[in-house]
Chain A
Amino acid sequence: MNAAVDSRAAAIPAQSAPRPWDLDAIRRDFPILDQQVHRAPLAYLDNAATAQKPAAVIDAVAEFYRHDNSNVHRAVHALAERATAAYEHARERVRGWINAASADEIVFLRGTTEAINLLAHSLGQAWSAGDRVVLTTMEHHANIVPWQLLRERTGIDIAVLPVTADGELELDALPALLDGPVRLLALTHVSNVLGTVNPVAEAVRIAHDHGVPVLVDGAQALAHERVDMQALDCDFYAFSGHKMFGPTGIGVLYGKAERLAALPPWQGGGEMIRRVTFERVRFAPPPQRFEAGTQDFAGAVGLAAAIDYLSTLDRDAMARHEQALLAHATERLEAIPGLRLIGRAAHKAPVLSFLVDGVHAHDMGTLLDRKGVAVRTGHHCAMPLMDFYGVPATTRASMAFYNTLDEIDRLADAIDYARGVLA
């Protein structure tokens, strides 16, 4: 990293006291929430698919394009310097937010999916038939399919850590799975279907006891949890900007410095090289080694703005509010006849998946939408988990800190309405 970036990083102001928790004021920060859908106020309960953006993020991206846009790490003109500084400032902002030891451990990519594909490719180059990666039943397809593609290329094995009926990892079964030629444990931090917050720190400890490195899929975690890379001690951590109130198209692969240093590149192109002749190429060190081509630096600026915004919020009040939403939603939905909740882990993010007798999830989605309630229906890109529960599809309501108890009531009332139509 260059000196200018270091001085910029040091200029980040010390954390000020959070603003008082005022839900009305917070909702006003998110312009999209203030609209009618089918003549009803929008109740956006599809946050696990993508979270909405505060005006601060939208404005930061727009301002970047208005004033600073230029390709990074290339030219010496003023705009290029500003854009480069903004991009590396964003990297430092991400480092601080997840408490990585160094900004060089932060690789900007398109998102969680790309990060896992990168690892499957670059880690996999050193693996061979019979090597094993351990996943869990509750993984998103993004943390399944890249390993299946690697299996097709190299003949690796995939082992799966089971989950309980309540939707918790069977951690007791983990040590046995880690015996043998295991190259990686790759597991989700928070289930996108069940809301389960997995004991990833414990999983990391167990895996490390077996000498196995760990990748954590953090796509669903950052919207709800503070994560600390040095405390968690995982080897890799992947997440997406758009699920934590930042823009689409920007995401992060965190990797411990020594892990990234040992990793061969994935895509080749500009920016990721040190020296190229037609006879040979020498690659740049991380993180640039993994950032071939023009990156989404405007997205990185937006992600930094999202972190700036989140850092103004009272995290304790936010956690209390989210748990209040979860408790209220669980209570209201459990009172609905014929409704079955999928996922009853002790430690959950505010995500509820459910089925209702006589109402297919897809009809439920259409009928809730007509009441202004936006939810996700289907298999949630987690077909093996759907198979485990023996259901083809569920309806999922996923909350963010800007949702209200009133919106939960409207969800419950709309489910009753759907039952009335179809049952």
Chain B
Amino acid sequence: MSDELDDLYQEIILDHNRHPANFRPMPDADRTVEADNPLCGDQLTLYLKLDGGRIADIAFQGSGCAISVASASLLTERLKGASVAEAEALFETMHAVLTDAPRAADDDTDLGSLAALAGVRRYPMRVKCATLSWHALKAALDGRGSEDIVSTE
């Protein structure tokens, strides 16, 4: 692979695309949000199960490009068991990371494996692939229900 692409198709992205985590239906989800990116045909459904202020379970299904699948997979891996407040803060952080917007001065979030997604900001046509699952997450946290379709176009 050429050097430039290393920051987009990192091995961790490729792995999550081949073997996405938490890729399953959740019939008893508390929150279900469908999201799509009509430009490239990415479609995903994000499921959340809440227990008090915590995300007891999180999963997704759908089809899409490697960037969108890996982003959703990494999202679910990171947020399973997290508090709703943490998830909301992480949405803000990731939105800044993916769109190259300045992060809040007090934002010292350790991105961990999510840092692998940061390279997408150098590919303006692909940013929406990476942000799709995060917008679905935000809609789910806001309680915008399963009838609510999130679209990044």
Spell out A's residues near B (CB within 8 Å). Answer: 38, 360-363, 366-367, 370, 377-379, 386, 391-393, 421-422
Contact = CB atoms under 8 A, between A and B. Distances in A.
Contacts, number: 55
B64 interface: yes
B1 A362 contact: no
A360 B18 CA distance: 12
Given A362-B67, A377-B40, 13 more contacts: A38-B4, A360-B41, A360-B66, A361-B41, A362-B40, A363-B66, A366-B5, A366-B123, A370-B2, A370-B5, A378-B39, A386-B41, A392-B42
A361 B42 CA distance: 10
B17 A422 contact: yes
A392 B41 contact: yes
A378 B41 contact: yes
A362 B42 contact: yes
B141 interface: no
B17 A392 contact: no
Interface size class of B (residues with CB under 8 A): 20 to 34
13 contacts: A360-B40, A360-B41, A362-B40, A362-B42, A363-B65, A366-B5, A366-B123, A367-B9, A370-B2, A379-B38, A392-B43, A393-B40, A393-B41
B40 A361 contact: yes
A366 B126 contact: yes
Interface of B: 1-2, 4-5, 8-9, 14, 17, 38-43, 63-67, 123, 125-126, 129
Nearest to B40: A362
A362 B43 contact: no
The 8 closest A-B pairs by CB, nearest first: A392-B41, A393-B41, A360-B65, A362-B65, A362-B40, A363-B65, A363-B66, A378-B40
Contact of B14 (A362, A377, A422): A422
Contacts of A421: 1, 5, 9, 14
Given A362-B129, A363-B66, A392-B63, A38 B40 contact: no
B47 to A, nearest CB: 21
Contact of B2 (A38, A360, A361, A378): A38
Contacts of A360: 40-41, 63-66
Nearest to B36: A392
Given A362-B65, A422-B66, A379 B5 contact: no
A38 B67 CA distance: 21
A361 B38 CA distance: 13
A211 B125 CA distance: 47
A281 B39 CA distance: 44
A11 to B, nearest CB: 48
A367 B5 contact: yes
Contacts of B66: 360, 363, 422
A367 B41 CA distance: 17
Contacts of A362: 40-42, 64-65, 67, 126, 129
